[in-house]
Structure 1
Amino acid sequence: MTPTLDFDFRASARRTLQLEQQALGALIPRLNGDFDQACRLLLACRGRVVVTGMGKSGHIGGKLAATLASTGTPAFFVHPGEASHGDLGMITRGDVVIALSNSGETGEVTALLPLLKRLGTPLISLTGRPASTLARHADAHLDTGVEREACPLDLAPTASTTAALAMGDALAVALLEARGFTAEEFALSHPGGSLGRRLLLKVGDLMHQGKRLPTVPLGSPLRDALLEITRQGLGFTCVVDEDGRLSGVYTDGDLRRTLDQHNDLSQLKVDDVMTRPGKRIGPEVLAAEAVRVMEDNRITALAVVDDAGRPVGALHMHDLLASGVI
C-alpha cells in the first residue's frame, strides 16, 4: 500500500463530516417514548448508572459515564469482558444499566442479560438494530443506527459511534435540565479546572485586605488620596465616613477627569472629586460575578464591603486574571 501525497484530503474530510451530519440528523425523528422512558428510569435510579460497551462502543460508553457523572447523574463504566470475570458484582438491584452495541449482538454484552433480568436491574440499550437481542431485552431502546459508516469500506465504526455519542449527550442534557442542575453544582465536580475556579472562587478569596486595603477618610486632601493610590497600586482608594462606611471611591479615571476640570489641585479635597457612591461588591459574591460587574461598568477594581457598607477589601482585575477566573 503506497500513500498518495497529492490526495484530496479536504474532499475526504468534507464527505466524512457530511455523512456524520446526516447520521445525527436522522436521530431526531427517532426520538420517541423510549427516550422518555430511559430518562424516567435514570431519574428514578437510587443507585448508580452503570454504562457498558465493547470496543469502540466501550470508548463511547466511557465518555457517556463521565458526562453523566459530571452533570449530576452518578455513573461509572464497566468493561463487559471484565464483568463476566468478577466485575459484575459492581452492579446492584438499585442501579440502571446503559449498554451500547451497534449490532446489538455483541457477545460480551448480551452475556450480561440473564444476570440483569435476575436482579431486576433496568436496562437501556443504544443499538443500530431495533430487532437485535440487546434491543429486544431492554426496558428502553434508543435507535442509533446509521445508513452507512463514514469509512469508505463501510467497516470502521465512524458515523455509528458519532450517533451513539450524540444520543448519550442528549440523554445527559435532558437529565441535567430535568434536575435543574446548576453551574455551581457542575463546578463542584470540576474543582481543579478553570471552570471550577471561575464558579467556586468568591470575592473574599481573592480580595486585598488589612494593610493592603486602600482607604482615606472623608475630608482628606486630594494629595493624600493620590499617595494612597500610589502606595497600594490598585488604581483606586476607598473614601470612608467617620463610621467607616464607604462614601465613595477615587480612581485613576477620576484623576484624569480632575486634571481636565481643575487647574489647581492643591486646595481640593477628595470629597470634591470622588465618585459617589462608588461600585461595590460583597465578599461572598462569586468572583465570576465580579468580572461581570467590572466589564459592564468598564472598571478594573471594586471596593468590597460588608453588610454595614464598611470596606473590608479591594479587588482588582489582575487578581481575577492571576487566579484563572478569566
Structure 2
Amino acid sequence: MVATTTTPAPEQDRAGIVALATQALDIEAQALLGLKQRLAGPSGEAFAQAVRIVLACKGRLVVMGMGKSGHVGRKIVATLASTGTPSMFVHPAEAHHGDLGMVTPGDVVLAISNSGESEELTALLPVLKRQGVPLLAMTGRPGSSLARHADVVLDSAVEQEACPLNLAPTASTTAQMALGDALAVALLELRGFKAEDFARSHPGGSLGRKLLTHLRDVMRSGAAVPRVSPQAGFGELMSEMSAKGLGAAAVVDAHGRVAGIFTDGDLRRKIEAGVDLRTVLAGEVMTPGPRTIRDDVLAAEAVSLMETHRINVLLVVDADGVLVGAVNTNDLMRAKVI
C-alpha cells in the first residue's frame, strides 16, 4: 500500500473556502434576525396563540413534515418531549396509510412546510379539519394552502437560502429549527419546567445522574465504613484504614456519633511533624468535628461540599448525627456523578 500525503491548500484557496462558509453563515444569521424582528412585531401574536393552544392541549403535539422539514420536525419533537411537552412525529406519507390514526381528538398538529404546498401534507388537511384537531402551520409562505387551512400560522420565511443556487433548504430549515426551539423554550418556562424535570427524562445522561442520584445510592455503608473508637490504639486505626481502603477512618463515640476523622493526609502530617505514633490513641490524633453530610441528600451536594472545602472524604450521618456511611471522590467518579 502506497502512503499518500495531503498537500495543504494554497492560501488563496483557504481564503476562498472560508469566504464561502462565512457567507453561508451570514445569510443564515440574517434569516434568524429577520425571524426575531417579525416575532417582535406582527408575528408575535400568532406565536403567543400557538403557545397557548399547545399549553391547553390534553394530548400530544403531533409534528408533521416532508423532506428536510421532516428532519427538522423530528428534532423539534425531541426537544419538546425532553422539555415537558408530550410530542410525536408522524410522517405525512405514512399518515395516508394508517398512521393518521395516531392523531387523536385531544392532540394538536404542527405541520411544517417551507412552501406550504407539500402534496402529502395538504392532502391531509380535510381529514384533520374533520377531526377538529387544532392545526398550527410553520411555513415560509403565509398565503399558501397550508397556511389558509391552519388555525395559527408561524411565519418562518427567509429572504434567501444559503445555497448559492437558492434551491437547497438551508436558511429556511435553520429558521424552522430556531422557531421550534423558541416554541419549546416558551412552553418550558410557562410550564415551570425545572432541571429536575429535565433529569427525569434524561436518566442516563450526566445531568440525570447528578440530579437523580442520592448519596445513599453511592456511599459505602455498614462494615465497609472504617471506624474506631477514640480509645483505639494507632495500630488498630491503621489496620482499619488499610482494610477498608477509604483513605480515612471515622472516630465515633459509644453511640456511633462522629467525634472525628483521621485521613491519609493526617498521617503524613504527623510523620512530618515527628510525632511518635506508636503510643498515641485515635482520639489524640483525629481531627475533631469533621465535615459531615446527611444521607438523604443528592450525591451532587457531596461533590459540591468536597470541592468547596477541598477534601477527598466525607462522612455520612443520619438525622441524629450517627455515622451511617462514607464516600470519597473515587466513589463519586465511579458513579459518574463527577
Alpha-carbon shift at residue 103 of structure 1 (Å): 1.1
Q: Answer yes or no: is the 8 Å Cα contact 2:227–2:252 preserved in 1.
A: yes
CA distance in 2: counterparts of 1:274 and 1:42, whole angstroms: 61
Q: TM-score, normalised by structure 2?
A: 0.89
Q: Answer yes or no: is the 8 Å Cα contact 2:229–2:283 preserved in 1.
A: no
What amino acid sits opposite 1:26 in the alignment? Answer: G
Segment of structure 1 superposing worse, 203-212 or 217-226 = 217-226
Q: TM-score, normalised by structure 1?
A: 0.92
The residue matched to 2:164 in structure 1 has which SS?
coil
How many residues are aligned here? Answer: 322
Alpha-carbon shift at residue 95 of structure 1 (Å): 0.3
What amino acid sits opposite 1:21 in the alignment? Answer: A
CA distance in 1: counterparts of 2:23 and 2:287, whole angstroms: 60
Q: Answer yes or no: is the 8 Å Cα contact 1:218–1:242 preserved in 2.
A: no
Partner of 1:14: 22
The residue matched to 2:288 in structure 1 has which SS?
coil
CA distance in 2: counterparts of 1:33 and 1:129, whole angstroms: 17
Partner of 2:52: 40
Structure 1 residue 64 and structure 2 residue 72: aligned?
A: no
The residue matched to 1:243 in structure 2 has which SS?
coil
CA distance in 2: counterparts of 1:229 and 1:20, whole angstroms: 61
What amino acid sits opposite 1:245 in the alignment? Answer: R
Please give the residue correspondences for 1:256-295 in structure 2 after superposition, counting only pairs within 5 Å.
Answer: 256-261=268-273, 263-295=275-307
Partner of 2:31: 23
CA distance in 1: counterparts of 2:289 and 2:123, whole angstroms: 71
Alpha-carbon shift at residue 261 of structure 1 (Å): 4.6
Segment of structure 1 superposing worse, 316-325 or 49-58 = 316-325
Q: Describe the shift of the 1:161–1:270 C-alpha distance in structure 2 as closer, same or farther (beyond 3 A).
A: same
Alpha-carbon shift at residue 115 of structure 1 (Å): 1.9
1:120-157 CA distances to partner (integer Å, 9 max, x unpaired)? 21111211122222223322222111111111111111
Alpha-carbon shift at residue 80 of structure 1 (Å): 0.7
CA distance in 2: counterparts of 1:252 and 1:142, whole angstroms: 63
What amino acid sits opposite 2:326 in the alignment? Answer: A
Which contiguous aligned blocks of 4+ residues in structure 1 show a shift greater than 6 angstroms? none
CA distance in 2: counterparts of 1:133 and 1:280, whole angstroms: 66
Segment of structure 1 superposing worse, 12-21 or 39-48 = 12-21
What amino acid sits opposite 1:28 in the alignment? Answer: K
Alpha-carbon shift at residue 230 of structure 1 (Å): 2.2
CA distance in 1: counterparts of 2:238 and 2:59, whole angstroms: 62
Structure 1: gaps spanning 5 or more residues: none
Question: For the aligned residues, what is the CA RMSD?
Answer: 1.9
1:223-256 CA distances to partner (integer Å, 9 max, x unpaired)? 4333322221111111111111112222223334
Residue 200 of structure 1: which of 181, 203, 212 is its match? 212
Residue 235 of structure 1: which of 247, 253, 256 is its match? 247
CA distance in 2: counterparts of 1:263 and 1:189, whole angstroms: 54
Identical-pair percentage? 57
CA distance in 2: counterparts of 1:298 and 1:136, whole angstroms: 63
Partner of 1:246: 258
Partner of 1:137: 149
Alpha-carbon shift at residue 172 of structure 1 (Å): 0.9
CA distance in 1: counterparts of 2:186 and 2:272, whole angstroms: 57
Segment of structure 1 superposing worse, 38-47 or 193-202 = 193-202
Segment of structure 1 superposing worse, 71-80 or 137-146 = 137-146
Q: Answer yes or no: is the 8 Å Cα contact 2:109–2:134 preserved in 1.
A: yes
Residue 52 of structure 1: which of 64, 68, 79 is its match? 64
Alpha-carbon shift at residue 260 of structure 1 (Å): 4.8
Alpha-carbon shift at residue 267 of structure 1 (Å): 4.0
The residue matched to 1:237 in structure 2 has which SS?
strand
Q: Describe the shift of the 1:139–1:277 C-alpha distance in structure 2 as closer, same or farther (beyond 3 A).
A: farther
Alpha-carbon shift at residue 262 of structure 1 (Å): 5.3
1:86-141 CA distances to partner (integer Å, 9 max, x unpaired)? 11111111001111111112111122221222222111121112222222332222
1:50-106 CA distances to partner (integer Å, 9 max, x unpaired)? 000000000000111111111111110000111122111111110011111111121
Partner of 2:102: 90
1:19-40 CA distances to partner (integer Å, 9 max, x unpaired)? 2222222221222011111111
Structure 2: gaps spanning 5 or more residues: 1-8
Q: Describe the shift of the 1:131–1:278 C-alpha distance in structure 2 as closer, same or farther (beyond 3 A).
A: same
CA distance in 2: counterparts of 1:253 and 1:25, whole angstroms: 57
The residue matched to 2:326 in structure 1 has which SS?
strand
Q: Answer yes or no: is the 8 Å Cα contact 2:112–2:137 preserved in 1.
A: yes
The residue matched to 1:186 in structure 2 has which SS?
helix
Residue 332 of structure 2: which of 294, 302, 320 is its match? 320
Residue 215 of structure 1: which of 211, 227, 235 is its match? 227
Please give the residue correspondences for 1:131-210 in structure 2 after superposition, counting only pairs within 5 Å.
Answer: 131-210=143-222
